Structure 1
Amino acid sequence: MSRVSKNPVTIPSNVEVTISNHNVLIKGPLGSLQQKITEFVVLEVVDNEIRIKTANESKHANAMSGTIRSLIANMVHGVSQGFEKRLQLVGVGYRAQAAQDKINLALGFSHPINYVIPDGIEIETPTQTEILIKGMNKQIVGQTAAEIRAYRKPEPYKGKGVRYSDEKIILKETKKK
């Protein structure tokens, strides 16, 4: 069995878990998430913990048990506390403004960029150069942050662009005569 899947997932008191045939549904104060489970993995709820076991001793079952454990742990964390990513805009004239279902980005192009916010994601702009992405699904939060960052990745000479708040950009030295 995978080292990851040996650790049980603790269920907080405000989270409800329902396991049916090859499906797990997790409800919490922020909403509900559902995940399909492969036939190689067996889930049990014992004493406010979800325990993951393999159906057989194959390598694939071992790998899937660790993956499913991580997915379920992220779901439990997402419906109880949620996930967030912070982006920073670095550059002269770089701005972001959150509208109802869009975020307007001015990133030095000749045209503004209107990014449509996916369902289940909430975007705030505390300042014009900060973007805060919140949601209960870790994968969608990360994908949204990556798509916004991809419009203008940080360049290595001046560091201008869209970067994660905890990202360190190593600047290159300019060409010398």
Structure 2
Amino acid sequence: MSRIGKKLITVPKGVTVKVVDGAVEVQGPKGKMRQAFPSGINFELADGHLVAKTVSAEPELGKFHGLARSLVANAVAGVTNGYKKELDIVGVGYRAELKGKQVIFALGYSHAVVFDIPAGIDVVIDKQTHITVTGVDRQLVGQVAANIRRRTVEEEGWKDRRQVRIGTRDSVMKITTKGDRRHRIQLRQRKRIMGTKERPRLSVFRSVSHIYAQVIDDLSGQTLVSASSIDPKVKGSLGKGVTGGNLKGAEAIGRTIAERSIEKGIKRVVFDRSGFLYHGRIRAVADAARKGGLEF
């Protein structure tokens, strides 16, 4: 069982919860939403708390146990307090205004950039440069904020990402650990790397014991293909002593992601090392993917 999955979800006063087949419906002061959760997990409501339980003792359900609990907890928090993302427009003369369900940006182009606000999202603009995105769905709020930033910087092929900045303009990332340093490198790389439908992004991540690869279309926000050392099909095909923590396991992930990508008609990708140095298991995945037929 998951350590996160075993935590109780407290249902605040004024919030109603209904558990239906494969989903939880919640309603509160900020609105209502229906949150689906993975199969193999059930929720029970007792004494003002929601409890996530697995339907069986299979170890594979552990990874979905914590995920399901987090998704439902986010839904409860969303209808109670809501979520928000703040963005600042940085640039002389750059501004935005709200017209109905559209945000109109003036960013120095020959024309205005128009962004349509999706259902379930509210946008407030303060002093023409400060944008606040709010809603009850945490994933949707974050995605809309990212889409606004992407939409405003990709118009007419413009690649300068300084116009719209998520967070406060005075925030500075402090580097205190190796993880912070890797994350800063990753953010810097992601400013230059973007996956499209024609040429998606091959993102590789490694932990101490496992390695993960995903082929992502950033424009639609979809993962097209994935492979990892915790994937049951991949794990079962690995030989004795081969794991996600060594080079042979990384090579197997590279071959698998290449095979699955080619099966879906994907041959050209851009490689994203996620801030890691290009050596060891990261390089092994890249080399195996190239040998498997991917071009990058």
Q: Which residue of 2 aligns with 1:175?
A: none
> How much has 1:36 moved relative to structure 2?
2.5
Which digits, 9 at most, give the CA deviation of each residue in 1:105-157, with x for residues without a partner?
112222111101000111010111110111111111111100111122895xx
Larger Rg: 2
| 1:123-162 matches, cutoff 5 A | 123-150=123-150, 151-152=152-153, 155=160, 160-162=162-164
> TM-score, normalized by length of structure 1?
0.87
| 1:66-81 matches, cutoff 5 A | 66-81=66-81
> How much has 1:165 moved relative to structure 2?
1.9
Q: Which residue of 1 aligns with 2:240?
A: none
> How much has 1:38 moved relative to structure 2?
3.2
> TM-score, normalized by length of structure 2?
0.53
* CA distance in 2 between partners of 1:37 and 1:143 (Å): 19
> How much has 1:37 moved relative to structure 2?
3.1
Work out whether residues 102 and 117 of structure 1, in 8 Å CA contact, stay in contact via their aligned partners in 2: yes
* CA distance in 1 between partners of 2:9 and 2:145 (Å): 27
* CA distance in 2 between partners of 1:134 and 1:66 (Å): 25
Q: Which residue of 1 aligns with 2:11?
A: 11
Q: Which residue of 1 aligns with 2:103?
A: 103
* CA distance in 1 between partners of 2:7 and 2:138 (Å): 20
Q: Percent identity?
A: 35
> How much has 1:98 moved relative to structure 2?
1.1
Larger RCO (CA within 8 A; separation ≥ 6): 1
Matched, 1:2 2:10: no
* CA distance in 2 between partners of 1:124 and 1:131 (Å): 6
Q: Which residue of 1 aligns with 2:118?
A: 118
Aligned residues between the structures:
168
Residues 165 and 37 of structure 1, relative CA distance in 2, 3 Å threshold: closer
AA in 2 matched with 1:96:
A
Work out whether residues 106 and 112 of structure 1, in 8 Å CA contact, stay in contact via their aligned partners in 2: yes
Is the helix fraction higher in 1 or 2? Answer: 2
Structure 1 spans left out of the alignment, 5+ residues: 173-177
Work out whether residues 102 and 114 of structure 1, in 8 Å CA contact, stay in contact via their aligned partners in 2: yes
* CA distance in 1 between partners of 2:36 and 2:124 (Å): 31
AA in 2 matched with 1:31:
G
AA in 2 matched with 1:130:
H
Q: 3-state DSSP class of the match of 1:134?
A: strand
Work out whether residues 107 and 152 of structure 1, in 8 Å CA contact, stay in contact via their aligned partners in 2: no
Work out whether residues 106 and 113 of structure 1, in 8 Å CA contact, stay in contact via their aligned partners in 2: yes
4+ runs deviating over 6 angstroms: none
